[in-house]
Structure 1
Amino acid sequence: MADRPSFDLRRAHYGRYAGGPDPLAPPVDLRAALAAIGDQVLEGVSPRRALREMLRRGFAGRRGLDALAEQANRKRREMLRRNNLGGTLDEVKRLLDAAVLEERQELARALDDEARFAELQIAELSSSPAKAVQELSEYDWRSGSAREKYEQIQDLLGREMLDQRFAGMKQALENATDADRLRVEEMLRDLNALLESHERGEDTGQQFEDFMDRHGEFFPESPDSVEELIDSLARRAAAAQRLRNSLTEQQRQELDALAQQAFGSPALADQLARLDGNLQAARPGEDWESGREFRGDNGMGLGEGTGALADLAELEELSEALSQSYAGAELDDIDLDVLARQLGDEAAASAKTLAELERALHDQGLLDRDPEGRLRLSPAAMRRLGQTALKDVATQLSGRTGGRDTRRAGAAGEVTGASRPWAFGDTEPWDVTRTVVNAVVRSAASESGPPVRISVDDVEVTETEQRTHAAVALLVDISFSMVMEGRWVPMKRTALALEHLVRSRFRGDDLQIIAFGRYARTMRIDELAGLDEVFEQGTNLHHGLLLAGRHLRRHPAAQPVVLIVTDGEPTAHLEPDGEPYFDYPPHPLTLARTVQQLDALARMDAQITFFKLGTDPGLARFVDQMARRVAGRVVAPELDGLGAAVIGDYLTSRRRR
């Protein structure tokens, strides 16, 4: 038996997947996204605004841009509330007080005159920590512990000042030797020389490579060019300047004086001042002027405070990018690396999903642009919205009547239940049961016996009647009352469902959508779906019936079906000159013209159904009388059942003949 490789489970390691996008992550749910956008569009919101609103609010349990922006603003407010910038000064004062106390204790035990003179020097120290540190620069310490604490002050100042410009330097230089400090000073001199050569326009390619070879350990981000080096340094230096701007005048004076004692020499402060000048000249567009008001009790050191100000700047940039409120804003403006660093991987994943969603909506053709360049829902998107609306309606119909949704569009006609022998040219489906029975009977009667073989004479086909071809006019009321009473979106959803049903299941039918307000007009489904709310008076059913009659006359061989969705009695009609006439209460001439057109449709043998919305008594009287006059029907559905009522009546009308 071949040897099998052995595995040491103790050496197995588990961690976050880092090979690119998560291969097990669920795909972006375009259906939920499109439904969210579609709801807004049906309410009259432009597709572009609907897309932005969905991205802002989020969808399907995913956080939107507003939630991410609020998280960034909350973190920013908390940083300002919790912290203050006096940490370095407080630490200097603590070390200075401890050093002076220990030196006094040491002097008190001495009996010589020099000790008394030293006590006078200590007693006369300035109350300002910065001046006191400066005055003690030449003092001959007797206490070794006090001298160590004083040297800690000088070391702390040097490390803090470097940490302002180079993140992590405070920890890296802890317990540093004199040789380490000399290497830092050498790095600063070479860095300033490099930046000044670059500012003069000299070719610094080789100089940069030499600089990184000597001092690359100070730059863990490993910049690839002088420009990248300047970018990283300038952001940190600008934050350091904003920290200085955020201090009180007294704090600035104290730190300026203390800077001269960093590492026991003014050389470091001079090199850093030179570096700041070079960086400001190279990147004047950075924010070197503003400041922040920290109000908390947690004192931060210079390096920590500079990092906090850099974080605040990033949080403010994130808030602006997440707001998408500026001209030309794109989701690609959001830096996902910064977002993950400031708000966590989950926030970055949410933003990435939103960006992928927006791209997918465009890439899969659900959003496109009209000839004028405006964003719109594409025909593919309209089909999906119609499919969703029809599915909702089918669910309602199934619950009410026991029917079910099906993808089958039918064959050549409606099945009667009978069958007949196949003849050349027949396209009806086989009656498999009768065909097999015929073959078995024939084989049993023959002498050859089994196996059973099917011949042409055995084949029977199902009998069908010619499938009905209907011309359907859907008249929808778009007067202002439909908007005011919350009937606008259900009306549009009903039209979407009916249009999708006709196009997908009854392709031979001819549907025309007619919208009527003060006047009537035919509309494509995408035009109706994107129709803004109409705040005008007038229910011109007369004009709508005129257009319905024209549609039915164009299809004389089809079964005529007229479906009228309205929430008010007719209050307008079309004059001979083509202008609408409006009056309320309804003018007798308006009612007469409307009745005249209904009679014309009845003479065409049209099946007319009124879908009465609301409880207007005038509408109830009118539709009841008209239904009796033209042998039509009146349906008074609940608003959430409008779609099911219209679809159900359409299917019933088709079967009636």
Structure 2
Amino acid sequence: MKYFYGEFDGEEFPTQDKLFGFDNLMDFILQYGDQALKALQQMMENPKDDAQSELLEQLLKDGILDKDGKGRLRLTPRAIGRMQRKALIEVFANLKQGQREGHEKVTPGSGGERIEGTKAYEFGDPVSELDLHATLSNAMKRATEARRQEGTKGHSPSSDAFVPGSPNAAGRPRAKIDFSEKDFELHLHEGVTSCSTVVLLDMSGSMMRYGRFLSAKKVAMAMQALVRQSFPQDSIDFVGFYSGAAKIPEIALPLAMPKPVTIYDYQVRLKVPIDQLDKAPQHFTNLHMGLQMARRILRKRASENKQIFIITDGQPTAHVEGDNVLLLYPPDPRSTAATLKEAVLAVRENCRIATFALIEDYWGMDWVGFVDQLARLTKGLAFYTSSGELANCIMESYLSGRKKKAHIA
């Protein structure tokens, strides 16, 4: 049996009569992942009383839980959708007021909400968005200035005036207004721009502490709901990195958990073939492989903007070298160098990188130097935050692009 220790938050473990409300059940599954479903499976197969059995059967009828071909419990798409929406509500309930609600890009022409202001016409701009009032005003001002200059040169000002069709003093119709291309002004719009994001989730053993992975997982699910609800032109993918790295499907995200620590030696130096990596200890931090996978995903995206969010609580302790993966503890400069090189390659492919460093461990603060070095080399963003503030940092970065200090000069 494996034990995980963490700080007690003061909340009692949910008893049977409290567990089966939807919110409590979803929190239970998010916190314990596959182990929670296995516990529910055992309760279903060996119920202690009729009430317990009826409650589980009701969850099946309500479409919250389902069974696969082997009779094992699984979450339904309906349950996952509700979990995502609940996470989104929680996240936005805690966000500070005053942030923008999208990836804004001020442009002329159609495609978004019209905003205050105009711009001069440029070749290729849509003439359907001409601001007639500003354009007419420009033409009249230009005509007035031209007549004034004629008067200063000794020529009598022309009696032609500004309002087409109205008679002048001599009874003749006034001249029509001549428009120049320089007179044209267009309305400004809040243009729509697409964004592809890959979120790299640290699944190493230390992410179990202080509720770090639970907080990261809730933010990830909130982002899924946000993209589906408000930014359908965007794409978002999740990659978990540990001793290896793997893409996390949407349906599997609620059940994802950090890898348990299986080696406690004070020094580890392992070289494992990639095709045998699943047989090796899984609790190391292979951000190098995670970045490789993120680059492959983003190459397939056609979005105007591409970005990589890294959520981690420690520096790399693994990297790819040829056909092998090196698992190295304490952290080795070779893993750091390989990871930084991969990050620079991502930036050269026009990917923005933001790193969210979880720093509850005061004794482990020395590792943030790696995050600072990563921000310097990639000219990216670095957020040093606790698990409780992670949602604020990520959502503010995603929604508004608000610049934080990227590096220390």
Q: TM-score range by the shorter chain?
A: 0.5 to 0.7
Distance 1:499 1:372 in 2: 29
Post-superposition shift, 1:608?
Answer: 1.1
Structure 2 residue aligned with 1:527: 252
1:256-267 alignment, distance < 5 Å: none
- Between Structure 1 and Structure 2, the one with more strand by share is 2
Q: Which of 286, 295, 298 is equivalent to 1:540?
A: 286
Once the two structures are superposed, what CA deviation does each residue of 1:328-383 show, in whole Å capped at 9, x if it has no partner?
Answer: 4458x73xxxxxxxxxxxxxxxx4xx666544422232211234432111111111
2:9 aligned with 1:41: no
Structure 2 residue aligned with 1:609: 354
Distance 2:328 2:36 in 1: 35
Structure 1 residue aligned with 2:74: 376
Structure 2 residue aligned with 1:565: 311
Higher CA-based Rg: 1
1:250-649 alignment, distance < 5 Å: 328-329=45-46, 334=50, 351=51, 357-397=55-95, 400-402=96-98, 412-417=111-116, 464-535=189-260, 536-577=282-323, 579-614=324-359, 615=362, 616-649=364-397
TM-score by length of 2: 0.63
Q: 1:357 to 1:644 in 2, by over 3 A?
A: farther
Q: Is the Cα contact below 8 Å between 2:201 and 2:238 reproduced in 1?
A: yes
User: Which stretches in structure 1 are left out of the alignment for 5+ residues?
Assistant: 1-29, 54-323, 335-350, 421-425, 432-460
Structure 2 residue aligned with 1:653: 401
1:33-432 alignment, distance < 5 Å: 33-42=21-30, 43-49=32-38, 51=40, 328-329=45-46, 334=50, 351=51, 357-397=55-95, 400-402=96-98, 412-417=111-116
Distance 1:404 1:464 in 2: 15
- Between Structure 1 and Structure 2, the one with more helix by share is 1
SS in 1 for 2:401: helix
User: Which stretches in structure 2 are left out of the alignment for 5+ residues?
Assistant: 1-17, 103-109, 120-125, 132-185, 261-281, 405-409
Q: 1:637 to 1:32 in 2, by over 3 A?
A: farther
Structure 1 vs Structure 2 CA RMSD: 3.5
Distance 2:202 2:38 in 1: 25
Distance 1:50 1:498 in 2: 28
Q: Is the Cα contact below 8 Å between 2:101 and 2:400 reproduced in 1?
A: no
Q: Is the Cα contact below 8 Å between 2:201 and 2:240 reproduced in 1?
A: yes
Post-superposition shift, 1:496?
Answer: 0.9
SS in 2 for 1:413: coil
Q: Is the Cα contact below 8 Å between 2:41 and 2:73 reproduced in 1?
A: no
Q: Is the Cα contact below 8 Å between 1:367 and 1:378 reproduced in 2?
A: yes
SS in 2 for 1:538: coil
Once the two structures are superposed, what CA deviation does each residue of 1:443-502 show, in whole Å capped at 9, x if it has no partner?
Answer: xxxxxxxxxxxxxxxxxx985343111110100100000013431211211111111111
Q: Is the Cα contact below 8 Å between 1:570 and 1:594 reproduced in 2?
A: yes
Distance 1:388 1:380 in 2: 12
Determine which structure has greater relative contact order: mean sequence separation of CA pairs < 8 Å that are 6+ residues apart, divided by chain length: 2
Q: Is the Cα contact below 8 Å between 1:470 and 1:654 reproduced in 2?
A: no
Distance 2:37 2:403 in 1: 42
Q: Is the Cα contact below 8 Å between 1:613 and 1:636 reproduced in 2?
A: yes
Q: Is the Cα contact below 8 Å between 1:44 and 1:533 reproduced in 2?
A: no
Distance 1:373 1:521 in 2: 26
Q: 1:414 to 1:473 in 2, by over 3 A?
A: farther
Distance 1:514 1:532 in 2: 13
SS in 2 for 1:511: strand
Q: Is the Cα contact below 8 Å between 2:315 and 2:367 reproduced in 1?
A: yes
